[in-house]
A and B are shown apart, each in its own frame.
Chain A
Amino acid sequence: MIPQLDIQNLRPATYFVPSVSTTLGLKDYMGAIKVRWGFGRNNYKVKPGLYKVGKPKSESDVFVSANYKLSFDSLRKNLANIDAWLLVIDTKGVNVWCSAGKKTFSAKNIVKSIKETSLEGIVKHRKIILPQLSAPGVAAPEVKEQSGFRVIYGPVRAKDIKPFIDAGYKATPQMRKVTFPLGERAKLIPVDLMYGKYKLLIALALVFLISGLDRTGFLFSKMISTSSFPISNVLGGYLAGIVITPLMLPYIPFRTFSLKGATMGILLTIVLMQIFKVTNLEIVGMGFISIAISSFVAMNFTGSSTYTSLSGVLKEMKWAVPFQISFVVIGIVLFIVSKLI
């Protein structure tokens, strides 16, 4: 008779699995706010490896996550009163969905982590639970083939994990569906807002300088006294595209993001022409510019949205980018002319 090997005891004595709490502290919340504004976002990482939540045993579930700390935090926060293993794979500090798109959340990386943590010696069962949104990067059949572990796709949102387990590891159609409610759209705004800050400053400086142009040359006093209208347009166009459009997304007509942004740009132009007393030529010129800016930055929100396809964005860009560039050129020309006549 072959003696039963106790794999548990074969593990090196130094192998230690750290425990993590399921409650987030002040530091976690502050960290989340910081990265939501784009600060240190590329270095908000958790060390890849195996972690414990509660007092997991060899039959407890294994949840796999990315090593972006926001992903890790949202998972552990939703595992209160559950004994489980967390397998954090190295996604270079990128969240689940994006790293799946970049193929760092992949079968290869999962298998590597399973081997490195000797998971097969720690748990008796052979299944791992992955977030559903990792699926674009993970070929489940490959994981099974190369590690023996069967992949179960959990719900999209970590908050559904408990109901998912209670239902016998079955997700309802609602748990499988990605939505894009106001709160989630709002969370994405700060990062996008900070993203274009240097380009925005350059545009602001440019219209500020043009404001001083005059038939007689360049007047410093004219630049100071008349620059508030063009600055409001550029800044307003940016905010209309990056703040207002995402917030109002489902209520703005048109399917393309560039037209949604342009619509908000037009509304902005109408508002600003009520406030400022300037020539019609300048209104039209700056209108073209703010509509183009709003359209362009709104178009970039396709990357943050949860429902746009590559084919769709390519189709949209084919006509939207030429339209945005020509609007900017026409706008600058009209604006300069308005200063010279």
Chain B
Amino acid sequence: MQYLKNVVTLKLDQHKCKGCTMCTNVCPHEVFSMIDKKAIINKKDLCMECGACEMNCPEGAIKVRSGVGCAAGIINGIFRGTEASCDCSISKSDCC
């Protein structure tokens, strides 16, 4: 299963990469590969922008606009004037 093409905001600065392979460990969709001890973005369209790679890259080489890919969350955000979030606050019985 694959979602929309050419929309993902994932960026990798290869000059900063030191080849620790952390991004390949945390990515749930095998977006990264290692070539010559450096990470490359291999399957960009499979990225779901969860932000795990950016969060765990010790060199700060990865940037991605992360957030919930969730229509209900985006609608919630619009109504509350906040960021998109499928907020499971105690008063509501919904969650992502």
Cβ–Cβ < 8 Å partners of B86 in chain A:
98, 303
Q: How far is the CA of A307 from the CA of B90 in the complex (A)?
A: 27
Interface presence of B26 (CB below 8 A): yes
3 nearest A-B residue pairs (beta carbon): A303-B70, A135-B52, A308-B69
Cβ–Cβ < 8 Å partners of B51 in chain A:
136
Residue-wise, chain B 60-96 has the 8 Å CB interface mask toward A (1 for contact) of 0000011111111110000000001111101011111
DSSP class of A's interface residues: helix, strand, loop or mixed?
helix
Interface presence of A312 (CB below 8 A): yes
Interface presence of A310 (CB below 8 A): yes
Query: Given A136-B50, A139-B55, A42 and B95 touching (CB < 8 A)?
Result: yes
Once the chains bind, are B95 and A311 in contact (CB under 8 Å)? no
Known contacts A42-B88, A100-B50, then 16 further A-B pairs from the complex at CB < 8 Å, ordered by chain A residue: A102-B88, A135-B55, A136-B50, A136-B66, A177-B30, A180-B1, A305-B69, A306-B28, A308-B69, A309-B4, A310-B84, A311-B7, A311-B9, A312-B69, A313-B71, A317-B74
Q: How far is the CA of A333 from the CA of B9 in the complex (A)?
A: 41
Cβ–Cβ < 8 Å partners of A139 in chain B:
55-56
Q: How large is the interface on B (under 10, 10 to 19, 20 to 34, 35 or more residues)?
A: 35 or more
Query: Given A310-B49, A310-B84, A303 and B26 touching (CB < 8 A)?
Result: no
Cβ–Cβ < 8 Å partners of A306 in chain B:
28, 48
Q: How far is the CA of A311 from the CA of B66 in the complex (A)?
A: 9
Q: How far is the CA of A306 from the CA of B48 in the complex (A)?
A: 8
Interface presence of A256 (CB below 8 A): yes
Min CB distance, A27 to chain B, in Å? 22
Once the chains bind, are A303 and B71 in contact (CB under 8 Å)? yes
Give 11 CB contacts A-B under 8 Å. A41-B93, A98-B86, A98-B88, A98-B95, A132-B25, A132-B28, A299-B71, A300-B71, A311-B7, A312-B7, A317-B74
Interface presence of A226 (CB below 8 A): no
Cβ–Cβ < 8 Å partners of B70 in chain A:
300, 302-304, 308, 313
Interface presence of A243 (CB below 8 A): no
Once the chains bind, are B52 and A136 in contact (CB under 8 Å)? yes
Min CB distance, A7 to chain B, in Å? 29
Q: How far is the CA of A135 from the CA of B73 in the complex (A)?
A: 21
Cβ–Cβ < 8 Å partners of A138 in chain B:
55-56
